[in-house]
A and B are shown apart, each in its own frame.
Chain A
Amino acid sequence: MAPPPKVTITYCAECGYEDETLALARSLMLEFGGSISGIELIPWEGGTFDVSVGGVLVHSMKRDGGFADHGRVKAAVRATLEV
């Protein structure tokens, strides 16, 4: 069985993305509890809002546009847990 994944949210601290970052982190905490190994929040720059699950980038504001869809991130976490 694969180890529980870590979710990393890299957000633009200059852009005021804290609310979206915390909302996603909270949503993941409530959904997965201790099933994930951790949630790391990384303040960054340049309009970034990237989410990776187990080292795999599942959302990028630059690539996909906008903030991450919570359902899509949760689906990525679930897929990792089911491996």
Chain B
Amino acid sequence: MTVSRERFDQGMTYDEYKAQMTRNRETLEANERAVEITDADRRAFSRKVSALVLAEDWCGDVVANLPVLGRLAQDTGNVDVRVFLRDKNLDLMEQYLNQGKFQSIPVFVFFDQANDGWRELGHWIERPASVTEKRREERTKIYASDPRFGSPDAPVDQLSADVRAELQGRLVKMRADTAVWANREVLRELGEIVAR
């Protein structure tokens, strides 16, 4: 089962989605401004495609990764983005569960519009595995750099407030430092999907 063209058309445009956000819009738009689209991305998205998105404004991965798609759509003019709120469209979510069981978002589902057709090209969920792995490695290094930080798996409420603040600062900086690379990884994976 796939999503029909008629259902797709009922989704919000990217701008309509942003307009209805109740939180994190400034962060999402700051992330959008930081996305750099290259000529290779433009070549990868040189034909018209449709992208169905499942999102919620409270989700950090949505705030980080939806702007990559949004910026790509704005730059190329070739991606028709329609956003659906996950919690109000669970029938759609059920079709694209992460590992068949998790309601991870964002989900991007690409459709080919060639020759007035409607063919699903593939879908993308949450964040690239490479980003998860890289950040896991960097987190491990940060925790290992200071014995006061304890184990990455231990609840942070067991740390003293001053140690917690220091650790939080290091983790936030690490994510900021890897953001440009992470955006590139997202664009690379999206390009691979539409090349199918």
The interface of chain A, by Cβ under 8 A from chain B, is 8, 10, 12, 14-17, 20, 40, 42-47, 50, 52, 55, 57, 65-67
When distances are taken between beta carbons in the complex, the residues of chain A under 8 Å from B146 are: none
Of A15, A42, A52, the contact of B63 (CB 8 Å cutoff): A15
Query: Are the CB atoms of A65 and B155 closer together than 8 Å?
Result: no
Query: Are the CB atoms of B58 and A16 closer together than 8 Å?
Result: yes
Query: Are the CB atoms of B24 and A65 closer together than 8 Å?
Result: no
Q: Which partner residue on chain B sits nearest A8 by CB separation? A: B157
Residues 61-77 of chain B: 1 if any A CB is under 8 Å from the residue's CB, otherwise 0? 10100000000000000
Q: Which partner residue on chain A sits nearest B60 by CB separation? A: A47
Distance in angstroms between the alpha carbons of A65 and B102 in the assembled complex = 8
- In order of increasing CB-CB distance, the 8 nearest A-B pairs are A47-B60, A16-B23, A8-B157, A15-B60, A45-B172, A16-B24, A45-B171, A45-B168
Q: How many residues of B contact A (CB 8 A)?
A: 21
Distance in angstroms between the alpha carbons of A57 and B155 in the assembled complex = 8
Query: Are the CB atoms of B156 and A46 closer together than 8 Å?
Result: no
B183 within 8 A of A: no
Query: Are the CB atoms of A12 and B164 closer together than 8 Å?
Result: no
Shortest Cβ distance from residue B112 to the other chain A in the assembled complex, whole angstroms = 31
Indicate whether A14 sits within 8 Å of B172 (C-beta atoms), given known contacts A8-B155, A52-B157: yes
Q: List 11 A-B contacts (CB under 8 A).
A: A15-B59, A16-B57, A20-B58, A46-B60, A46-B171, A47-B60, A47-B61, A50-B155, A55-B158, A57-B155, A65-B102
Query: Are the CB atoms of A52 and B60 closer together than 8 Å?
Result: no
- SS class of chain B's interface: helix, strand, loop or mixed? helix
When distances are taken between beta carbons in the complex, the residues of chain A under 8 Å from B57 are: 16
B89 within 8 A of A: no
Of A16, A52, A67, the contact of B155 (CB 8 Å cutoff): A52
Query: Are the CB atoms of A14 and B155 closer together than 8 Å?
Result: no
Query: Are the CB atoms of A47 and B59 closer together than 8 Å?
Result: yes
Indicate whether A46 sits within 8 Å of B157 (C-beta atoms), given known contacts A14-B60, A15-B58, A16-B58: no
Distance in angstroms between the alpha carbons of A31 and B59 in the assembled complex = 28
B103 within 8 A of A: yes
When distances are taken between beta carbons in the complex, the residues of chain A under 8 Å from B59 are: 15, 47
Query: Are the CB atoms of A65 and B60 closer together than 8 Å?
Result: no
When distances are taken between beta carbons in the complex, the residues of chain A under 8 Å from B172 are: 14, 45
Query: Are the CB atoms of B164 and A42 closer together than 8 Å?
Result: yes
Distance in angstroms between the alpha carbons of A12 and B63 in the assembled complex = 13
Shortest Cβ distance from residue B92 to the other chain A in the assembled complex, whole angstroms = 16
B33 within 8 A of A: no
Q: Which partner residue on chain B sits nearest A12 by CB separation? A: B60
